[in-house]
């Protein structure tokens, strides 16, 4: 197996999966539930919508029908708790605007967390400025219509968070920082069913408060996300979610398309940790690519270490053991041909992490996926089966060169496992242009031992080091074995 990447070692100098709340519905932002750029084929799953807002942002007809009301316009329709919390915290709320040539390129929300003017929001809300600070400028606006500038101090792309500093008129900053929002202590966890309140500026219309329910953490997610029953809308990305005492329990990050009252929050503890880690940081100078690379390198090491420690399950097949990942932080979907169908028979299992890391509108990374297909061509005969089976292997898409990654470089070999069928394997790498040392790896596998039976497998990893690409390829190939001879 190691020979698959031998030719690539001389090319190491190559340069080169929920949507987030805060840009437009058309923008992908990390999520968990983030949509990856050109992802491998996956089973149909509900899409997630970013809760940030681009300007202008068309209303998506597929978005949840429930819409938050602005307390500025309809205070009578809110509960006493919601009105009390909004009145108490409105001076700490702000809209975060990314400006291009003086016009809004995107908008989200944020909130003041220290008396010296530090602000928490989502990374994807400020990603344009973070990656191209010479083109994009950050500005804030208050519920009363006052405005000022923002400085970027640090980012946490893994949790889709950013730390900012207010910069503006001294009197305005003094009012905004008089009572910063506190974080709920970790030793007082929420109970499922507790009421919590999301704040933000949906669709750049007006500041709003949305009542909802805490429903625990999302299952099968590599990093924890809070499942919130409430209608978060684009433009609310980065806004705070408060408990009855006015303490921050989470940060708005995403919502689910084609659903009602299904939204997701970054746990407040991660925002508190970012604040603790970077509260004395100087404003970032230049594009944030080096900081992002540092964080992605640490993340992919942890992800790969955890993934390869798990034993494979197997697709149910009388002849082959085909590797299927545990559903610890993946969801797997199965499909098959009709039992009485004529011609080629097929069964398929597709698994993919639904959490991807948002880097830019065009680039999401940091996720794994596995697809396994088993074919039975006994009703076709060897020649017809060979043609159809070969066509299935050829139609896999590997992506091409774009502004973020190189074209795939592929190598092919035949692999004989000690206790498994002979395999034809193709391994492809795409190098990241601005994140040197990170790659996308795709491994295609087919058996070559039977005339009317076959198995096709595909493994994908986005944003891993060369060493981990090799490690994952070996781990995947070792998952193929005989069930019976």
- Cite the beta strand spans of 269-378 per DSSP E: 313-315, 320-324, 331-336, 345-352, 357-358, 364-365, 368-376
List beta partners, residue 345: 376
Give me the sign of the Cα torsion angle 462, 413, 315, 344: positive
Count of residues in the chain: 485
CA 40 to CA 27: how far, in whole Å?
19
Give the distance between the most distant pair of CA atoms in the chain: 82
* Four-CA torsion 317, 319, 323, 328, nearest 10 degrees: 40
CA 120 to CA 164: how far, in whole Å?
6
CA 355 to CA 403: how far, in whole Å?
23
Rounded to an integer, what is the distance from CA 20 to the centroid of its chain? 8
Q: Are strands 320-324 and 481-482 parallel, antiparallel or unpaired?
A: antiparallel
Contacts of 223 (CB under 8 A, 6+ apart): 32, 158, 159, 355
What pLDDT is recorded for position 71? 33
Q: What is the mean pLDDT of each run of 10 residues along the chain (485 residues)?
A: 42 34 33 31 39 43 32 49 93 96 95 98 98 98 95 98 94 95 97 96 92 94 94 93 97 81 94 98 97 98 97 87 92 86 86 94 97 89 85 82 96 88 94 98 91 91 98 95 76
Per the CB < 8 A criterion, the answer to whether 323 and 480 are in contact is yes
Q: Which residue has the tokens 């924890």?
A: 224
What pLDDT is recorded for position 51? 56
- Cite the beta strand spans of 183-319 per DSSP E: 195-200, 208-217, 226-229, 240-242, 248-256, 263-267, 313-315
Per the CB < 8 A criterion, the answer to whether 202 and 68 are in contact is yes
Q: Which residue has the tokens 């070999």?
A: 413
296-334 b/e with 16+ CB inside 10 Å = b? bbebbeebbeebeeeebbbbebebbbbbbbeeebbbbee
CA 307 to CA 429: how far, in whole Å?
19
What pLDDT is recorded for position 193? 96
What pLDDT is recorded for position 484? 67
What pLDDT is recorded for position 416? 86
State pLDDT tens for residues 106-160.
999 999 999 999 999 999 999 999 999 999 999 999 999 999 999 999 999 999 9
Q: What is the mean pLDDT of the chain?
A: 84
What pLDDT is recorded for position 323? 94
CA 17 to CA 30: how far, in whole Å?
7
210 in helix, strand or coil?
strand
Give the global pTM: 0.84
Per the CB < 8 A criterion, the answer to whether 142 and 94 are in contact is yes
Per the CB < 8 A criterion, the answer to whether 199 and 241 are in contact is yes
CA 75 to CA 59: how far, in whole Å?
24
List beta partners, residue 336: 347
What pLDDT is recorded for position 259? 66
């Amino acid at each position: 197996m190691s020979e698959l990447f031998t030719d690539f070692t001389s090319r190491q100098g190559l340069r080169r999966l929920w949507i987030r709340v805060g840009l437009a519905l058309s923008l992908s932002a990390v999520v968990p539930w983030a949509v990856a750029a050109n992802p491998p084929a996956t089973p149909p799953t509900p899409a997630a919508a970013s809760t940030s807002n681009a300007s202008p942002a068309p209303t998506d007809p597929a978005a949840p029908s429930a819409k938050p009301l602005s307390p500025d316009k309809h205070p009578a329709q809110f509960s006493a708790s919601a009105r009390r919390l909004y009145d108490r915290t409105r001076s700490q709320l702000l809209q975060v605007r990314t400006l291009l040539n003086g016009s809004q390129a995107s908008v989200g929300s944020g909130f003041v967390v220290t008396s010296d003017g530090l602000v928490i929001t989502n990374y994807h809300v400020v990603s344009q400025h973070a990656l191209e600070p010479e083109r994009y400028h950050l500005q804030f606006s208050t519920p009363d219509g006052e405005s000022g500038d923002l400085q970027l101090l640090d980012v946490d792309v893994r949790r889709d968070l950013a730390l900012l500093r207010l910069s503006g008129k001294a009197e305005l900053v003094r009012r905004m920082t008089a009572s910063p929002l506190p974080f709920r202590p970790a030793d007082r966890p929420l109970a499922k069913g507790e009421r919590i309140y999301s704040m933000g500026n949906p669709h750049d219309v007006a500041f709003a408060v949305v009542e909802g329910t805490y429903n625990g953490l999302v299952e099968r997610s590599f990093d924890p996300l809070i499942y919130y029953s409430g209608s978060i809308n684009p433009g609310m990305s980065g806004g705070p979610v408060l408990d009855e005492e006015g303490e921050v329990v989470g940060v708005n990050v995403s919502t689910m398309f084609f659903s009602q009252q299904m939204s997701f929050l970054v746990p407040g503890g991660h925002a508190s940790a970012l604040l603790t880690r970077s509260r004395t940081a100087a404003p970032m100078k230049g594009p944030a690519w080096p900081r992002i690379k540092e964080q992605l390198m640490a993340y992919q090491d942890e992800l790969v270490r955890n993934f390869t420690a798990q034993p494979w399950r197997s697709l149910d097949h009388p002849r082959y053991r085909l590797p299927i990942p545990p559903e610890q932080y993946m969801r797997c979907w199965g499909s098959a041909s009709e039992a009485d169908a004529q011609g080629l028979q097929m069964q398929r299992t597709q698994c993919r992490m639904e959490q991807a890391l948002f880097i830019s509108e065009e680039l999401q990374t940091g996720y794994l996926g596995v697809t396994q297909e088993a074919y039975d061509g006994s009703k076709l005969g060897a020649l017809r089966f060979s043609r159809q089976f070969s066509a299935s292997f050829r139609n896999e898409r590997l992506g091409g060169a774009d502004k973020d990654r190189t074209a795939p470089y592929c190598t092919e070999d035949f692999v004989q496992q000690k206790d498994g069928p002979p395999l034809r394997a193709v391994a492809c790498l795409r190098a990241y242009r601005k994140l040197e040392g990170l790659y996308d790896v795709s491994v295609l596998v087919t058996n070559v031992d039977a005339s009317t039976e076959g198995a096709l497998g595909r493994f994908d990893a986005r944003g891993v080091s060369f060493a981990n690409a090799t490690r994952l390829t070996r781990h995947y190939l070792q998952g193929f074995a005989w069930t019976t001879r």
